[in-house]
Amino acid sequence: MTKLVAITTCPTGVAHTYMAAEALEETAKDKGYEIKVETQGASGPENELNKQDISQADVVIIAAGKSVNKDRFVGKRVYEVGVEEAIKDPEKVISDAFDRAVFLDPNGQSTNAGRSAKNSVQGIYKHLMTGVSFMIPVIVAGGILLAISFLWGLNSADPKDPSYNAIAAALNAIGGGDGALGLMVPVLAAGIGYSIGGVPAITSGLMSGWVAKSIGAGFLGGMVGGFLAGYVTLYLINYIKIPKKLDSIKFVLIIPVLSVAIVGLLMTFVIGIPIEHLMKWISGWLGTMGTGNKLLLGIITGSMMAFDMGGPLNKSIFAFSMIAFDAGNFVPFAAVMAGGVTPPLAIALSTVIFKNKYTAEERESGKAAWVLGAVNITEGAIPFAVADPLRVIPCIMIGSSVASTLSLIFNCACRIPHGGLIAPLIPNVVDHPVLWVVSIICGTIVGAILLGIVKKTKTETEASAKTSTQLNPLDMMKG
Amino acid sequence: MTNVIDQKRVFINRDFQTRGEAIDFLVENLVEENIVSDRKTFLSALQDREIEVSTYIGHYVAIPHAMSSVVSEPTVSVLRLSKDIDYNADGDQVHLIFMLAIPESGGKEHLAILSRLARKLMHKEIRAKLENSKTEKEIVDTLTS
């Protein structure tokens, strides 16, 4: 059941406080919502909200004629109005609360400097986790459908291939890069944006993720885009003042157009152009390196594959190996694919061995990561990397480097440009297939153990069931 | 001890032209009853409160109120006008006025009575009853029931 909590207060604390409480309570009951209202009147707080009330609440309404301490609500969606609005039109206040409540940003909320630094780190973490929880279903659905399409054969989506199958082609389109997996980065950015700026930031969040994808910035670009979208939208909401009568225009016209324009232009020019130059520079640099030094090439291949999983480094090393591939040298590509398969597998293994380092939700998506890794969908590792980038990315870079380097040392080669662990099952596609799989197993074990060492143990509340950042998507439909 | 809500402070079908006249009348009555010791101080306290946020609460109802050291007992005065008056700059029309006078050291019980009254006014049925009450006693009964 939808639950609201509210605080009402006014300067005198005798009349408006209670009228607002009554109005909100009656209206919420009429609508079938559960509500608890704390009144902060002249005789002190009554019907005080406890921790459980607050954690169960979908949205917090603060109807006040004076300032209210909001520390209790950090991390909740909070909607603030004047106390008189709750009295005059409680229905509108409640429906607006669902539409416009914004996550209470701990920045600037607390006056204690030390605490606020800690809170802002927690705030960033919370936004990332919200993005991850938006993204996981998209990756799992897309990845699994794409993996299923391979049951008909790795090329079954290609009409010119003898194994072509219409259903496989459809699943490939629905699940793959032009379908669900293609939506992964936009949805990540939308989730981060939503966490910061509420529902209005979803528009610019989706768009910033889409631009991140089209400029080749990958999920790291999407993370940047999500934060940009969230804070730009939040800023616009707070600083654009227009007459009340035009309020609806603000949210259907002004905020969407401005936020999408500002965030989109920033992404295209400030993020996009440097990435374009970076990729040119990297491909030039890779060209001069050659393929002679197997140890160096292995480390570079694995690190670049795992660093941004679909971003500029990943794309550059993939393109580099495809040049060799087209020229008939299939060895570098085997190393690339080993480095691409390893991250999700290392994480999946790590969630099994080190259960206390992961939330219940992460352990569940670890199961999907096995399948995604096996079919070379490196994206299976992205939710874990987003949630804890500074620890996860280095570990999987090392794991992939081990896999890629061993693959080069064993002189493995791969004659098809995709397929993951399915490729060695096909006759005459992979040279030294057993050694190639051994390379991946070694990289997986190394990565998993490193993750177990560097990741922090989850506290009981974090590890159990759902975190408070878990969002019920239905919340967003209400109002 | 004075009742918070009392027939003595309920006035029905009185005619005033402005908010100022109506409020003056109610305050004057409290001064006569020795509930408010200083007329000017209490009026300016009401005015200050009004400036912070209009005490118009919609549905033709206003509840001017103030907390002041010149108030000895918490009371509510009720005024039902024979015709609506302009209550504020927004042009809100008011037909029922509930004026709350609150002493600075308001006892909890009295404050609770006032806040229960405030809650009651949010209910349509209560407001309709107050509109249709024929006697002062009916109004008191509605507010205290």
Domain spans in chain B, listed from the N-terminal domain onward = 5-144
Instruction: Tell me if ipTM is over 0.85.
Output: no
Residues of chain B contacting residue A19, judged by C-beta atoms under 8 Å apart: 57, 63, 118-119, 121-122
DSSP letters of A228-272?
HHHHHHHHHHHH----GGGHHHIIIIIHHHHHHHHHHHIIIIIII
CA dist., res. A79 & res. A60, Å (int): 6
Q: Which of B59, B65, B95, B110 is catalytic?
A: B65
Mean pLDDT over the full length of chain A: 86
Is A3-103 a domain of CATH 3.40.50.300?
no
Residue B76: count other Cβ atoms within 10 Å of its Cβ: 25
Q: What is the pLDDT of residue B32?
A: 92
Nearest to B118 among A19, A43, A89 (CB): A19
Q: What is the pLDDT of residue B80?
A: 94
Query: Quick one: average pLDDT of B77-82?
Result: 93
Residues of chain A contacting residue B106, judged by C-beta atoms under 8 Å apart: 14, 42-43
Instruction: Provide the chain A residues 452-471 that lie in CB contact (below 8 A) with chain B.
Output: none
**What is the separation of C-alpha A400 from the centre of its chain, rounded to a whole number of angstroms?**
22
Q: Express each pLDDT in A100-132 by its tens digit.
A: 787 776 553 422 223 333 446 667 877 888 898
Residue A348: count other Cβ atoms within 10 Å of its Cβ: 25
Question: Residue A462: is its pLDDT beyond 70?
Answer: no
CA dist., res. A135 & res. A68, Å (int): 35
**How far does the CA of residue A357 sit from the closest CA of chain B (Å)?**
51
**How far does the CA of residue B63 sit from the closest CA of chain A (Å)?**
8
**Does residue A10 have an active-site annotation?**
yes
Question: Residue A55: is its pLDDT beyond 80?
Answer: yes
Residues of chain A contacting residue B75, judged by C-beta atoms under 8 Å apart: none
Q: Express each pLDDT in A5-41 by its tens digit.
A: 999 988 778 888 999 999 999 999 988 899 999 999 8
Q: Express each pLDDT in A338-369 by its tens digit.
A: 999 999 999 999 999 999 999 888 888 899 99
Nearest to A87 among B58, B106, B111 (CB): B58
Provide the CATH number for the domain formed by B5-144 in this structure.
3.40.930.10
Burial (0-12, 13-18, 19+ Cβ within 10 Å), B27: buried
Pick from A193, A177, A200, A199: which is nearest to A225 by CA? Answer: A193
Q: Express each pLDDT in A217-276 by its tens digit.
A: 989 999 999 999 999 998 898 788 777 677 778 888 999 999 999 999 999 999 999 988
CB A382 within 8 A of CB A302: no
CA dist., res. A192 & res. A205, Å (int): 7
Segments making up each domain of chain A, as ranges? 3-103, 111-276, 290-461
* Greatest mean pLDDT range, A265-269, B50-54, B83-87: A265-269
Burial (0-12, 13-18, 19+ Cβ within 10 Å), A175: buried
Which residue in chain A has the smallest CA separation from B116? Answer: A18
Q: What is the pLDDT of residue A339?
A: 97
CA dist., res. A396 & res. A306, Å (int): 6
Pick from A246, A241, A196: which is nearest to A78 by CA? Answer: A196
Q: Which of B69, B88, B122, B127 to mutate to test the interface with A (most CBs of A within 10 A)?
A: B122
H or E stretch including B101?
strand B93-103
